[in-house]
């Protein structure tokens, strides 16, 4: 089970990082359009009626990321403590759910032990631009998130897939669900920003989720995101920490994707 999850999530991680990277680079390329070098056009077409605040500057984005980084860093202990409390609180419920799920699994298909964990592949097909957009949209509409699985590094995954019928019962699903619930709680406690970006921003560890009001959204580790936005360097396979990331001279720069 763990092996299956690890393999699946490793693949998902790379795909979503690639998508995130592309989203960031698209956003950056828009910010550097002729005549708009400093102005960052807010994504979306239905924004003109708002009048005020239709554009934000690169400096604003940088300040925003910088403030979020430092202020989250200051409160990381509080967030972690709250997350732990909530995890302990939901552990009992998860255990009950696991027991029930195992019972059901055994009753329904006792000869197929792997049936307890199934992931719809189509949910992670990123071959077409449409499916990428769908996934990105699904990821950042408030019903999604990311968390780090112990010993498996930073992994991105879709909570919609984890929280619905993509999983079917079984112990592993219950354990993951427990983490998802914990994450949801953390997000619910840390969400609600409504700032220049006019969106909801949620923090978990060093991950940042920004849902822009116009539907365009992106997500990545905050330092990496800011780094991509300001340097035109994008490497989804690299270290999320820009300090040890693509600043490496041996790492070739990647151009922003052609729109």
Any residues with CB less than 8 A from the CB of 121 and at least 6 apart, and which?
Answer: none
Q: Which of residues 75-104 bind DNA (CB under 7 A)?
A: none
Kindly tell me which of 39 and 69 has the beta carbon lying closer to DNA: 69
Q: Does 71 help bind DNA (rule: CB under 7 A)? A: yes
Q: Does 70 help bind DNA (rule: CB under 7 A)? A: yes
Kindly tell me which of 76 and 92 has the beta carbon lying closer to DNA: 76
Q: Does 59 help bind DNA (rule: CB under 7 A)? A: yes
| CA–CA distance, 39 with 220 (Å, rounded to integer) | 22
Binding mask 172-201 for DNA (x = CB under 7 A): --------------------xx-xxx----
Kindly tell me which of 79 and 87 has the beta carbon lying closer to DNA: 79
Query: Helix, strand, coil % (nearest 5) of the chain?
Result: 55, 10, 35
Q: Among the candidate windows 11-19, 30-38, 150-158, 221-229, which touches DNA by CB under 7 A?
A: 221-229
In the structure encoding, which two tokens stand for residue 77, read together? Answer: 């202990």
DSSP of 92-159, one letter per residue?
A: HHHHHHHHHHHHHHHHH-TT-GGGG----GGGG--SSHHHHHHHHHHHTSSS--EEEPTTS-EEE--H
Kindly tell me which of 9 and 227 has the beta carbon lying closer to DNA: 227
Considering CB under 7 A, how many residues would be counted as binding DNA? 23
Specify whether the CB–CB gap between 126 and 15 falls below 8 A: yes
**Residues near DNA (CB under 7 A):** 59-60, 62-64, 66-71, 73, 192-193, 195-197, 223, 226-227, 230-231, 242
């Amino acid at each position: 089970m763990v092996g299956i999850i690890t393999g699946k999530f490793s693949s998902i991680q790379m795909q979503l990082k690639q998508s995130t990277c592309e989203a960031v680079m698209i956003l950056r390329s828009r910010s550097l359009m002729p005549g708009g070098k400093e102005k960052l056009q807010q994504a979306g077409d239905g924004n003109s009626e708002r009048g005020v605040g239709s554009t934000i500057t690169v400096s604003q984005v940088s300040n925003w990321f910088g403030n979020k980084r430092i202020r989250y860093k200051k409160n990381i202990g509080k967030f972690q403590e709250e997350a732990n409390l909530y995890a302990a609180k939901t552990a009992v419920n998860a255990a009950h759910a696991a027991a029930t799920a195992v019972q059901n699994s055994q009753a329904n298909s006792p000869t197929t032990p792997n049936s307890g964990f199934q992931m719809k592949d189509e949910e992670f097909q990123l071959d077409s631009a449409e499916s990428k957009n769908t996934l990105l949209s699904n990821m950042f509409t408030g019903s999604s998130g990311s968390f780090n699985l112990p010993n498996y590094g930073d992994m991105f995954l879709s909570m919609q897939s984890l929280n619905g019928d993509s999983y079917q019962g079984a112990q592993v699903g219950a354990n993951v669900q427990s983490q998802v619930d914990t994450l949801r709680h953390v997000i619910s406690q840390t969400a609600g920003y409504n700032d220049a970006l006019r969106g909801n921003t949620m923090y978990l560890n060093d991950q940042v989720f920004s849902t822009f009001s116009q539907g365009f959204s992106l997500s990545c580790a905050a330092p990496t995101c800011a780094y991509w936005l300001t340097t035109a360097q994008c490497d989804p396979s690299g270290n999320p920490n820009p300090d040890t990331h693509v600043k490496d001279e041996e790492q070739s720069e990647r151009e922003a994707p052609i729109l």
